[in-house]
Amino acid sequence: MLKFVVVDDEPLALEILDGYLKRMDHVHSVFLFSNAGDALHHLKDHHADVLLLDIEMPEMTGIQFLKVLPDPPLTVFTTAYRNYAFEGYELGVIDFLLKPISFKRFVQAIDKIREFMALKAQYDHAEELLEDKNNDFIFVKSGVQRIRLQFNEVTHIQGLKDYAIIYTHKEKILLKGSIKAMLDIFPQKRFIRVHKSFIVSINKITRLESSRIVLNGHEIPIGRNFKDDLERALRV
């Protein structure tokens, strides 16, 4: 059962999101705020699992709001401005909803949150990656299990809060650890960091655009500081 905080200066947007949440299962509580100050005060004293956050607000932008939270909940940006999507990934948001938000797209965002939490519960005791760089695989240690993970099955890795989500064609594996720690494990000739929050398998890239990579049905943002390294890697 999830606890939600919704912050948006538009009354209609609050009404729509509140209505969507009332149609969802697994919702414990919903707190609605039309200004950032009241929401900040609430979050100082109350736990929230999910934050639905508008960006363009008069008192404080959603980006400024998120930056002042010491330990923000899983956050979904809700905005009418598409150009904020990649900046959201820099801040570790789990999804980005473009207004007007359909109920179908909203459900997808909540499903993504629930999937992350389910993975977190399953792999929260993951202790280490057992590494042998002479092989084409690593063992992922989760509790008493050791899962053999082939490098050629991994499409990309996403950093989210204090975790790394390893994506394969078949499944997702969640590990405790930073995206930077993953760079020390996965072979640098086969994997490259393309964004503050993303590592991709070079061989799995199907399309490259000016600001994003498409692979395995996923759109991965390319950070400005990583473009040159990516272009050099693709020329090799």
Chain segment 46-64, per-residue pLDDT in tens: 999 999 999 999 889 999 9
Nearest to 78 by CA among 20, 22, 161, 2: 20
pLDDT of residue 33: 97
**Residues in Cβ contact with 18 at an 8 Å cutoff, skipping those fewer than 6 apart:** 6, 30, 32
Residue 115 has pLDDT above 70, yes or no: yes
The pTM of this model reads: 0.74
| E strands, the chain, in order | 2-7, 27-33, 50-54, 74-79, 95-98, 126-130, 137-142, 145-150, 154-160, 163-168, 172-176, 191-195, 198-201, 207-208, 212-215, 218-221
93 contacts 68 by C-beta, under 8 angstroms: no
Q: Among 76-80, 131-135, 224-228, which is the least confidently predicted range?
A: 131-135
Top mean pLDDT of 3-7, 83-87, 196-200 is at 3-7
Confidence category of residue 11, pLDDT binned at 50, 70, 90: very high
Average pLDDT, the chain: 86
pLDDT of residue 85: 63
Q: Which domains does the chain have, with CATH numbers?
A: 2-121 (3.40.50.2300), 125-235 (2.40.50.1020)
Is the sign of the CA dihedral 22, 25, 30, 34 positive or negative? negative
